[in-house]
Amino acid sequence: MAINTFEEKFEHALGDMYDAEHRFYDAQQEMSNKTDSAELRTLLEQHNQQTKGHIANLERVFRLLDKEPRRVKCEAAVGLVVEGQRTMQDAGTPEIMNWVIATAQAKIEHYEIASYRGLIIGAEIMKNEEVVVLLQTNLRQEEGTADAVQGEPRELEEEMAEKAAEAEKS
Ligand SMILES: [Fe+2]
Ligand SMILES: [Fe+2]
């Protein structure tokens, strides 16, 4: 797809994110099946419910722009998912597995945050308030999940890393 205009760039980024959300949905499902941490599983399952909403919101954005929802292969999402899968295959203990999953989820969320912030910049320049609100809804939930993994108040990744360190001592 040629990207020569503002509109084409925006639509490309939208299709890219629409593809990424589908890939992350599957990856979060897989990670939730592989963790033995109830906390991590709850976070992944709750976020997968939100992710379904993200996909629906992106479909609304396409329609508001008079476009059919279309996935554009997101190479970054492919890479993040493959890296997570390979590292999970190599994880030798449940504690390491949980830490690997927390790390992978944190990276996914930060990629999504950067992507939604970029889309919002475009939507604001287009002065499309409905689109801005839909994208901000998704962004807030990605930020909330990123904070649960690496920031305040829960810091799940830190907890998983500490448990992996403790397991080695015992
Ligand atoms: Fe998302
Ligand atoms: Fe997310």
- The string of pLDDT tens digits covering residues 88-101 is 999 999 999 999 99
User: Does 137 fall in a domain?
Assistant: yes
- What are the tens digits of pLDDT across the range 21-76? 999 999 999 999 999 999 999 999 999 999 999 999 999 999 999 999 999 999 99
CA 146 / ligand 2 centre spacing (Å): 8
Distance (Å) from CA 118 to ligand 1 centroid: 14
What's the gap in Å between 95 CA and the centre of ligand 2?
Answer: 23
What is the whole-number distance in angstroms between the Cα of residue 166 and the centre of ligand 2? 29
111 is a domain residue: yes
What the block records as the tokens of 160 is: 């998983």
| Counted domains in the chain | 1
Between CA 95 and CA 2 the distance in angstroms is 46
CATH code of the domain containing 80: 1.20.1260.10
The single-letter code of the amino acid at 22 is: H
Question: Quick one: which of 106, 103, 99, 97 has its CA closest to 34?
Answer: 97
In one-letter notation, the amino acid at residue 98 is N
Q: Is residue 151 part of a domain?
A: yes
Give residue 70's domain range: 6-169
Residue 165 CA, ligand 1 centroid: distance in Å: 30
